[in-house]
């Protein structure tokens, strides 16, 4: 008997296991997938076709993925009923099977948008303060909203690292002269910083109380009528993220890890992120890592990984002007959000940018763009972001040969100028393919 209420895992296959922190992938792993909303169905169908073809061609039937459909977003509403956009089945399936992949999700708007604070609390709903009154009883007014599903998934599953590799694929049009010089993997902290969701509206009692507290108790005056957001950054959260980045550099034989922060201004949050990183690296990786300052003074005769830090604003220049000096980047949440999109733009945009949210044991791979609702059901969108997230997933499983095969085939297809609309409009002499045709072209090139 399986523990799920409305979904059934496939009969074939078995779960991936984690033993001593290492992934153990069976020959036929069960992998849960969420198609996603909007263009999700189109790009998922294309992705599954490419992944299956590559695995089949590489391992000749000795390995294969047993797919298990689970639900979130609009498809969850259909299967599980009103308001259940993230069912327990979905969370439990990801926990049980360790690795999952998803398309983009819409965060639906609540079906009864306005309820008062007391009613919302009673219903256990996530709420956001609004400057008005309840239509029914005149109590302070709130808008009922579903919390972002992506943020909820990351927090519930403690997927603390958002991992985004950014590199150029031959033939992709870009705004820079030498896009091939950028090849970085960004580890963005996923659970803290201003994204922790501790925010109070300018006219809320909470903001008024906090302003009073800051002024009276901390002697830090804040202009009255200010909205307030809190930026928590901890040693625990920073060090586990930076550690993950360093381990990645060690495993992939990469020359440097750069901590990107704004510590010159925010000393006790972003500055502490950097200091905790150096402290942890000194304690745990001194045989493998050398600090840039030491390296400049004494050289690096043992060829250790160089750990450096850069201030965030300067880093935006660095990735444009000296991109080849950076390999692995570790950064707090907000910097990482900006930096990963800026880097993706440099090599041709979000359409080809893959991503994963990873914890200690669990990994959820996902397209980095949204649901592009205007293209829903048109078989038009570019599936590359999700396909490349699938490539990251195969690498995570240890199926590197299949992953390499897809990258080669994707590059070949783009090189043949057989692309989806978004790339076709930027390339001269290209053929515009539908999502499904593009996937078929990649499969044709998998040899
Ligand atoms: P979006 O869905 O990423 O789409 C913005 C534009 O980007 C599209 O109109 C399209 O540009 C282009 N685009 C995105 N994906 C593409 C693809 N696969 N192929 C080709 N072009 C693509 O951003 P949005 O319109 O701001 O957000 C729509 C919904 O997605 C919202 O509900 C949002 O909450 C959600 N969202 C989800 C995630 C996630 O689940 N990870 C992330 C971001 C947003 P053109 O119009 O120029 O063709």
- Same domain, residue pair 185 and 198: no
Give the model confidence (pLDDT) of 15-54 as tens digits. 999 999 899 999 999 999 999 999 999 999 999 999 999 9
Whether 139 is covered by a domain: the verdict is no
Residue 381 Cα to ligand 1 midpoint, Å, equals 10
Minimum CA distance residue for ligand 1 atom 47: 422
- Same domain, residue pair 353 and 211: no
Whether 384 is covered by a domain: the verdict is yes
Pocket test for ligand 1, best of 150, 151, 371, 438 (most atoms within 8 A of CB): 371
Single out the residue in 325, 346, 367 at which a domain terminates. 346
- Is the minimum distance from the CB of 150 to ligand 1 under 6 angstroms? yes
- For residues 263 and 270, the answer to whether their CB atoms sit within 8 Å is yes
b/e map 162-182, b = 16+ CB within 10 Å: bbbbbbbbebbbbeeeebebb
Confidence bin at 197 (pLDDT 50/70/90): confident
Single out the residue in 346, 374, 399 at which a domain terminates. 346
Give the model confidence (pLDDT) of 263-297 as tens digits. 999 999 999 999 999 999 999 999 999 999 999 98
* Helix, strand, coil share (%) of the chain residues, nearest 5: 45, 20, 35
Whether 117 is covered by a domain: the verdict is no
- Is the minimum distance from the CB of 435 to ligand 1 under 6 angstroms? no
- Same domain, residue pair 378 and 424: yes
Other beta carbons less than 10 A from residue 61's beta carbon: 8
Single out the residue in 289, 312, 346 at which a domain terminates. 346
User: Which segment of 13-17, 111-115, 285-289, 415-419 scores lowest on mean pLDDT?
Assistant: 111-115
Whether 112 is covered by a domain: the verdict is no
User: Which segment of 99-113, 120-134, 358-372, 410-424 scores lowest on mean pLDDT?
Assistant: 120-134
Tell me the pLDDT of the chain averaged across its residues: 90
Grouping H, G, I as helix, E, B as strand and the rest as coil, residue 284 is helix
Residue 370 Cα to ligand 1 midpoint, Å, equals 3
- Same domain, residue pair 305 and 364: no
- Is the minimum distance from the CB of 75 to ligand 1 under 6 angstroms? no
- Same domain, residue pair 375 and 422: yes
- Same domain, residue pair 181 and 262: yes
Confidence bin at 130 (pLDDT 50/70/90): very low
Q: Is the pLDDT of residue 373 over 60?
A: yes
Whether 412 is covered by a domain: the verdict is yes
Number of domains within the chain: 3
pLDDT of residue 18: 96
Whether 364 is covered by a domain: the verdict is yes
- Same domain, residue pair 247 and 101: no
- Same domain, residue pair 373 and 313: no
The average pLDDT across 439-443 equals 98
- Same domain, residue pair 267 and 328: yes
- Same domain, residue pair 305 and 366: no
Give the model confidence (pLDDT) of 212-234 as tens digits. 999 999 999 999 999 999 999 99
pLDDT of residue 301: 85
- Is the minimum distance from the CB of 381 to ligand 1 under 6 angstroms? yes
pLDDT of residue 265: 96
Q: What percent of the chain is predicted at pLDDT more than 70?
A: 91
Please say whether the dihedral angle defined by the alpha carbons of residues 22, 26, 27 and 29, taken in this order, is positive or negative.
negative
Q: CATH code at 301?
A: 3.40.718.10
What CA–CA distance (Å, rounded) separates 236 from 160?
Answer: 11
**Domain span holding position 370:** 1-107+148-167+349-447
- Is the minimum distance from the CB of 441 to ligand 1 under 6 angstroms? no
- Same domain, residue pair 330 and 391: no
Whether 116 is covered by a domain: the verdict is no
Vertex 91, ends 85 and 97: CA angle to 5°?
140
Active site residues: 195, 262, 313, 337
- Same domain, residue pair 257 and 307: yes
Whether 140 is covered by a domain: the verdict is no
Question: What is the atom index within ligand 1 of the atom nearest the CA of 422?
Answer: 20
């Amino acid at each position: 008997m399986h523990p799920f209420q409305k979904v059934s895992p496939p009969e074939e296959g078995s779960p991936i296991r984690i033993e001593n922190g290492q992934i153990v992938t069976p020959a036929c792993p069960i992998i849960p997938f969420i198609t996603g909303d909007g263009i999700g169905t189109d790009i998922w169908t294309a992705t599954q076709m490419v992944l299956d073809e590559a695995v089949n061609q590489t391992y000749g039937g000795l390995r294969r993925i047993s797919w298990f459909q689970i639900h979130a977003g609009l498809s969850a509403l259909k299967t599980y009923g009103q308001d259940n956009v993230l069912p327990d089945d979905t969370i439990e399936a990801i926990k049980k099977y360790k690795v999952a992949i998803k398309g983009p999700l819409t965060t639906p708007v609540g079906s009864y948008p306005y309820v008062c604070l007391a009613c919302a609390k009673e219903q256990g709903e996530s709420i956001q303060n609004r400057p008005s009154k309840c239509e029914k009883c005149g109590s302070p007014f709130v808008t009922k909203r579903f919390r972002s599903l992506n943020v909820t998934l990351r927090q519930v599953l403690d997927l603390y690292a958002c991992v985004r590799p950014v590199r150029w694929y031959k033939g992709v049009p870009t705004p820079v002269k030498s896009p091939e010089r950028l090849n970085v993997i960004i580890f963005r902290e996923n659970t803290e910083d201003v994204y922790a969701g501790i925010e109070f509206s300018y006219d809320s009692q909470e903001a008024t109380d906090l302003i009073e507290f800051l002024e009276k108790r901390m002697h830090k005056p804040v202009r009255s009528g200010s909205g307030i957001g809190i930026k928590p950054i901890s040693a625990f959260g920073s060090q586990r993220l930076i550690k993950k980045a360093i381990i990645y550099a060690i495993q992939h034989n990469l020359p440097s890890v750069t901590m990107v922060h704004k510590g010159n201004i925010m000393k006790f949050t972003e500055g502490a992120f950097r200091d905790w990183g150096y402290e942890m690296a000194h304690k745990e990786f001194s045989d493998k890592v050398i600090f840039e300052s030491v390296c400049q003074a004494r050289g690096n005769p043992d060829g250790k990984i160089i750990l450096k830090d850069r201030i965030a604003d300067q880093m935006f220049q660095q990735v444009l002007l000296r991109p080849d000096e950076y390999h692995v980047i570790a950064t707090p949440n907000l910097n990482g959000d900006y930096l990963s999109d800026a880097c993706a733009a440099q090599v041709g945009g979000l359409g080809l940018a893959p991503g994963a949210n990873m914890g200690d044991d669990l990994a959820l791979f996902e397209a980095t763009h949204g649901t592009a609702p205007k293209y829903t059901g048109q078989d038009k969108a570019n599936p590359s972001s999700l396909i490349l997230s699938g490539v990251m997933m195969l690498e995570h499983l240890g199926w590197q040969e299949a992953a390499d095969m897809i990258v080669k085939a994707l590059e070949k297809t783009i090189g043949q100028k057989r692309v989806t609309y978004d790339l076709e409009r930027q390339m001269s002499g290209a053929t515009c393919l539908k999502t499904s045709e593009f996937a078929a072209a990649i499969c044709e090139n998998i040899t």
